[in-house]
């Protein structure tokens, strides 16, 4: 059975003290009331080591928002997958549309990052999703298929077991404009069928596919009720404990 996951992506928010505060609050809230799903928080690099010491890793997984496409060496300012792992993190987000768009991360670069993350024992939350223009031209299926083929379909079945997919339509990210639950279910089912064509039905059934894009406590229950939506990757609503907990509670 595939995992239900609610993952937070803090993006470039929270200084160290604020991040520690939020992690403590969430840790306490979930200690008091065990979640019905896996919970992951993905933080900026600078928070990882401290947050790792604060949280109960049996209840909250920790992830980075990126890692380098090189193993080690003279790459000033970069953070390797091995470094991420050494903080106690278990996950890394790769392929987020903001990285693809603002930092020119190509499918080839992402392929390298995915391989390095897996080689260092990290699980990858791999993001895919179409722009508004592509959705209006009804190209969303082609886009997500190409993104999978470009960066993760080179993996062996064993490696692919460590991939979580996050479908994040770019037009829904930070816009307050959520995909309807039917729109999301339709493409999630399609993504699962593409995975089934590549790796077989069993692998596809075991792959968690998260929805991301203006997901909040008010719309999470309807989204998560769909058979192919296995949870969410949450931006803005992961920055306050009560908001994030509200989404986690959608699995209750
Ligand atoms: P929002 O939840 O703020 O729309 O962001 C979604 C996202 O990009 C998560 O990775």
Dump pLDDT digits (tens) for 63-91: 999 999 999 999 999 999 999 999 999 99
Is-catalytic flag, 33?
no
pLDDT (tens digit per residue) in 85-125: 999 999 999 999 999 999 999 999 999 999 999 999 999 99
In the chain, which residues have pLDDT < 70? none
Cβ burial, residue 124 (10 Å; 0-12/13-18/19+): buried
User: 160: which 2 tokens?
Assistant: 């692919």
Q: What are the pLDDT digits (tens) for 174-185?
A: 888 888 999 999
> How far apart are the CA of 200 and the centre of ligand 1, in A?
30
**Residues lining ligand 1, CB < 6 A?**
9, 96, 168, 173-174, 212-215, 233-237
Query: What DSSP state is assigned to residue 115?
Result: H
Considering the entire predicted model, what is its pTM? 0.98
Asked if 215 and 237 touch (Cβ cutoff 8 Å), the reply is yes
Cα 73 off chain centre by: 27
**Alpha carbons 206 and 55: distance in angstroms, whole number:** 27
Per cent of the chain over pLDDT 70 is 100
| 168 carries an active-site annotation | yes
The number of the ligand 1 atom at minimal distance from the alpha carbon of 233 is 9
């Amino acid at each position: 059975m595939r995992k239900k996951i609610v993952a937070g992506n803090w993006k470039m928010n929270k200084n160290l003290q604020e991040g520690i505060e939020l992690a403590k609050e969430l840790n306490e809230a979930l200690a008091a009331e065990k979640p019905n799903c896996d919970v992951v928080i993905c933080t900026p690099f600078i928070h990882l080591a401290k947050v790792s010491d604060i949280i109960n890793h049996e209840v909250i997984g920790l992830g980075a928002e990126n890692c380098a496409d090189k193993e080690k060496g003279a790459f000033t300012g970069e953070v390797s997958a091995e470094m991420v792992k050494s903080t106690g993190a278990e996950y890394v987000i790769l392929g987020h549309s903001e990285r693809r768009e603002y930092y020119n991360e190509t499918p080839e670069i992402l392929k390298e990052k995915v391989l390095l993350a897996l080689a260092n024992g990290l699980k990858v939350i791999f993001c895919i999703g179409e722009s508004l223009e592509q959705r209006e031209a009804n190209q969303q299926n082609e886009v997500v298929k190409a993104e999978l083929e470009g960066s993760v379909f080179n993996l062996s079945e064993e490696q692919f077991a460590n991939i979580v997919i996050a479908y994040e339509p770019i037009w829904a990210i930070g816009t307050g404009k959520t995909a309807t639950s039917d729109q999301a279910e339709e493409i999630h089912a399609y993504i699962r069928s593409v995975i089934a064509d590549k790796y077989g039905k069993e692998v596809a059934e075991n792959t968690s596919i998260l929805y991301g894009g203006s997901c909040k406590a008010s719309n999470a229950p309807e989204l998560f009720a769909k058979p192919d939506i296995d949870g969410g990757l949450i931006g803005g609503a992961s920055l306050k404990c009560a908001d994030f907990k509200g989404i986690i509670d959608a699995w209750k």
